[in-house]
Chain A
Amino acid sequence: MYKYDSYDQAMVDTRVAEFRDQTRRRIAGHLTEDQFKPLRLMNGLYLQLHAYMLRVAIPYGTLNSAQMRVLGDIADKYDRGYGHFTTRQNIQYNWIKLDEAPDILADLASVEMHAIQTSGNCIRNISSDQYAGAAADEIVDPRPYAELLRQWSSFHPEFVTLPRKFKIAVIASDTDRAAMRLHDIGIQIVRNMAGELGCAFYVGGGMGRTPMIAPLIRDFVPLDQLITYSEACLRVYNRYGRRDNKYKARIKILVHEIGKEEYSRQVEAEFAHLLTQGIEPPIAELERIVPFFADPAYDLTAPDAIDRSDPLFALWYDRNCHAHKQPGYSIVTISLKPVGGIPGDAPADQIRLMADLARDFSFDELRVTHAQNIVLPHVRKADLYDVWQQLDAAGLGTANLDGIGDIIACPGLDYCSLANARSIPLAQKISERFAAPEKQAAIGELKLKISGCINACGHHHAGHIGILGVDKKGVENYQLSLGGCEGADTSLGKITGPGFDEDGIVDAVEKSTEVYLSQRKDGERFLDTYRRIGMEPFKEAIYAKEPVNG
């Protein structure tokens, strides 16, 4: 994986020293909160319901074991013993003290990490496919291109005060595992008819209060023009994106209002101009980056067979292990969704265990997924049983990937100052309702996502079943939506009807699964059945009046 050069390290170290001085001046009373707030936000330090919250960037979700171990140590040393992995492949700490924040940034910098651009109206952490570099279905590892974009977007002077925040995802397979078309820019690395690599640009997607699926703006940008075309996309947005209304300031609104043709026309004009300016980094820079993401030294004799004699291991293998491009290896997803647990939360001991497993079994690499799980990308199949036993002993052996128990949930009103309702208790109740492995197995793939407010950090628009928490005259209320999907066939969920209270929404979810189980045809997932039969059968079941006794 990528290693900082002297410029990267100097930038991060300088920022730590700068923030240390800003923090000192704030505590001494030399800065007001209005003056200090934008400075702390530039360093990922929010003020949430109970304390300061620090959001740490994990570029394209990739970590090494030393970094992961430091994340665990930070949880112990500065927080309350746990961290929260987020839907943007980052980690958040919920109980940070202001005067210790610079020390945390220094600890992060010691392992080439930071919290820069995890807040504010700038280009945020670049996200990617959590299986990058390991998936059998990718045409190339997308991470060198994500890294190039990271370098371009870090401290980019033109794009530090955009109309709103800006999120970019990069993938390189037809199976979209990064919700690419629900980003401000989604980039898919593709091959053209001549076999050359390039990028398809999808621009203007997003969730939030106005969810939109990004339209294809250009189907092929040569790889040696990736940065120039990205710059053109951002420039047009920066020029015309609305700054008068934060709810209409995202690029999706601009693309929607002027139309993709007009937006594309303006981007092409800007692109043509920029090509004359020579802003593309030299190809030598990309050639410098690519070897950092070279395949690890696989054991070419690793056996492909799996001993399935332990049924619990076999269940976990079938559920949580994914095909690897290298025979004899598997991609392991560690579920951070135990029954009744808090999605994405991990205690420090678990974080350090996952670091150790990466060091011992996965060429020192881990990934954070946007579904709030952790991936060991390169595990020999012969080692899987050992890995699973260690995970299971630590409470990390839950076999529920992409099932109804693998719930995405934002922190919600338990932690977040923007939330209208709690998300986590719903996730806990639903996972408990569907705790039986045979029940989950019968339902199969069902992606359930919960947001505690319209900002949609829990991706509810993209859930096969989505839940949105709202404030109804001071009381939590939950809207149910069906039919969302974040994959190659991205779709947005539709609201079923009136909302529910906390218990009612759990019942409504269960009734939805009952409709699916009774109506499905062979091989259909929940989403397939919904798309075939439509909303009505679900509504009838969900809103059916209970018979009156007597």
Chain B
Amino acid sequence: MKILTGNDLKSGAVVWWDGSGWSLHVEDAVDAGDQADAILATESAARRVNAAYAIDGTRADGTVRPAHIKDRIRALGPTVRMDLTLKPADPEAGSWVI
């Protein structure tokens, strides 16, 4: 699947295109398919999200997993500060990234 991601203009937080807006949670990401470029162009013009780009990913068991480790770390947070990630209570979070 083709996922769209960027950073929120004001907070800088990593966000994911959920079909109608931007979510903080990668599991909300939808497959942008062949609309990826058009969505990115529209959203870039709206100036709410910085440096948005399209990446490859997979969906399995309700979880969206970006293909590259860099985007998995972006999705979760720093692997060395699990207390600062979006899922600090999830003991499996670290293995999901790596």
- Cβ distance A471 to chain B, nearest Cβ, rounded Å: 8
Interface pair B11/A97, CB less than 8 Å apart:
yes
- Mostly, the A contact residues are mixed
Binary per-residue interface labels of chain A (24-63) against chain B in the complex, 1 for a CB within 8 Å, 0 otherwise = 0011010011000000000000011111100000000000
Assuming A413-B70, A476-B69, is B12 touching A96 (CB within 8 A)? yes
By beta carbon, the residue of chain A nearest B49 is A33
Interface pair A98/B51, CB less than 8 Å apart:
no
* Stretch in contact with the other chain, from A286-294, A420-428, A434-442, A507-515: A420-428
Interface pair A47/B7, CB less than 8 Å apart:
yes
Q: Which residues of A contact B65 (CB under 8 A)?
A: none
- Cβ distance B22 to chain A, nearest Cβ, rounded Å: 15
- Cβ distance A383 to chain B, nearest Cβ, rounded Å: 34
A195 sits at the interface (CB 8 A): no
Assuming A32-B47, A33-B50, is B70 touching A49 (CB within 8 A)? yes
Binary per-residue interface labels of chain A (56-75) against chain B in the complex, 1 for a CB within 8 Å, 0 otherwise = 00000000000000000000
A474 sits at the interface (CB 8 A): yes
A521 sits at the interface (CB 8 A): no
Assuming A32-B47, A33-B50, is B80 touching A49 (CB within 8 A)? no
User: How many inter-chain contacts with C-beta < 8 Å in the A-B complex?
Assistant: 65
A52 to B10, CA, bound (A): 9
Q: Which residues of B contact A428 (CB under 8 A)?
A: 80
A261 sits at the interface (CB 8 A): no
A80 to B85, CA, bound (A): 12
Interface pair A99/B80, CB less than 8 Å apart:
no
Q: Which residues of A contact B70 (CB under 8 A)?
A: 49, 413, 419
A474 to B97, CA, bound (A): 12
Binary per-residue interface labels of chain B (6-49) against chain A in the complex, 1 for a CB within 8 Å, 0 otherwise = 01011111100000000000000000000000000000000100
- Residues 472-493 of A at the B interface (beta carbon under 8 Å): 474-476
> Contact check: which of A48, A414, A419 meets B79 at CB < 8 Å?
A414
Q: Which residues of B contact A80 (CB under 8 A)?
A: 84
Q: Which residues of A contact B81 (CB under 8 A)?
A: 342, 414
Q: Which residues of B contact A422 (CB under 8 A)?
A: 73, 79-80
Q: Which residues of A contact B69 (CB under 8 A)?
A: 413, 474-476
> Contact check: which of B50, B67, B68, B74 meets A49 at CB < 8 Å?
B74
Interface pair B13/A50, CB less than 8 Å apart:
yes
Binary per-residue interface labels of chain A (276-317) against chain B in the complex, 1 for a CB within 8 Å, 0 otherwise = 000000000000000000000000000000000000000000
Interface pair A50/B77, CB less than 8 Å apart:
yes
Q: Which residues of A contact B57 (CB under 8 A)?
A: none
Q: Which residues of B contact A (CB under 8 A)?
A: 7, 9-14, 47, 50-51, 67-70, 73-74, 77-81, 84
Q: Which residues of A contact B (CB under 8 A)?
A: 26-27, 29, 32-33, 47-52, 80, 95-99, 342, 413-415, 419, 422, 424-425, 428, 474-476
Instruction: Please name the 5 residue pairs, one residue from A and one from B, whose CB atoms are nearest each other, closest first.
Output: A51-B12, A414-B78, A52-B12, A424-B80, A29-B47
